Amino acid sequence: MHEPIDAAAVRAYLLDLQQRIVARFEALDGKPFARDAWQKPEGAALAGDGVTCILEDGALLERGGVGFSHVRGAQLPPSASAQRPQLAGRPFEALGVSLVFHPRNPYVPTVHMNVRFFVARDAQAGDIWWFGGGMDLTPFYPTEEDARHFHATCKRALDPFDATLYPRFKRWCDQYFFLKHRQEPRGIGGIFFDDFNELGFANSFALTRAVGDAFLPAYEPIVARHRDRPYGERERDFQAYRRGRYVEFNLVYDRGTLFGLQSGGRAESILMSLPPVVKWRYDWQPAPGTPEARLYTDFLPARDWV
């Protein structure tokens, strides 16, 4: 007897998680998120609904998005099933919450968090399903205290399920959020997992909830430490330059972005992760010994934080 799959329970949790995070950051920023509810009708190539919550030009967040989406399709596009031929031709649904916060103050790191569920159905052969997600931190002027706190919070979320999960998901994150064309990490990592079903549905869902619920404890203390630090044009310029790496990763490598765009998803919701102000500069390197150089020498190389 296969364990039942409860997509409705996953949906209810994700909507609640989105609302809790939005409410907390509305309180921290002082500006409300705009809420954009959208729907794609049944019969479309990709049907479903979602809510995109976006805050732009706030006191804390220069741009922040928290999106929920629940999409369904008769079959995956060939680009999405090429590496998984067992999924070809199956009806599917994918639902998740994804957020990216780009704070105004360069001393407050950019952060990403995502939790999601995918199921491809087949009454005869049985459903194929998995959870995925994680969170990662992308600082511009990092501190040891922040890095250790963020990683320790991720570890505490996973340890009750299996003490081997944090080091495994941490390595996965380091490998995933890596810009191969630059040969450098996007940030200081966190945790990342995908195609995860090894604990059965109930416990895999519980693990995913633990990750989602860990976001506010992982990130909010870092915001509180740095949001009021003074900064100038030098810091803003470096922030904009490093944000370029964020854009490059999301448009070239990010699985969620690529899946959404290739499957006909809603472009505005998919691309809400991009920062509002960004710069590129030809072959630029920070001067040795500067705070900017410390990001490259002391923090971007993968290391153990807990």
pLDDT tens per residue, range 252-305: 998 878 877 877 777 888 888 899 999 999 999 999 999 999 999 999 999 999
78 burial class (0-12, 13-18, 19+ CB within 10 angstroms)? exposed
Task: Return the residue matching tokens 């994700």.
Answer: 14
Q: Which of 70, 102, 112, 149 is catalytic?
A: 112
pLDDT at 1: 42
Question: Do the Cβ atoms of 96 and 115 come closer than 8 Å?
Answer: yes
Q: Which residues contact 185 (CB under 8 A, 6 or more apart)?
A: 174, 177, 178, 179, 300, 301, 302
pLDDT at 78: 56
Asked about 112 being catalytic, the answer comes back as: yes
**Weakly modelled stretches of the chain, pLDDT under 50:** 1, 82
pLDDT at 123: 58
User: How far apart, in whole angstroms, are the C-alpha atoms of residue 102 and residue 273?
Assistant: 9
End-to-end Cα distance, the chain: 40
Say how many residues make up the chain: 306
pLDDT at 256: 78
pLDDT at 83: 61
Domains (ranges, CATH) in the chain?
Answer: 7-299 (3.40.1500.10)
Strands (E), the chain: 34-40, 46-56, 61-73, 92-103, 110-120, 128-138, 178-179, 184-185, 189-196
Residue 100: strand pairing partners: 65, 112
Comparing CA positions, the residue from 263, 276, 233 lying closest to residue 110 is 276
pLDDT at 89: 60
pLDDT at 260: 78
Residue 201: strand pairing partners: none
Q: b/e for 26-54, b at 16 or more Cβ within 10 A?
A: bebbebebeeeeeebeeeeebbbbbbbbb
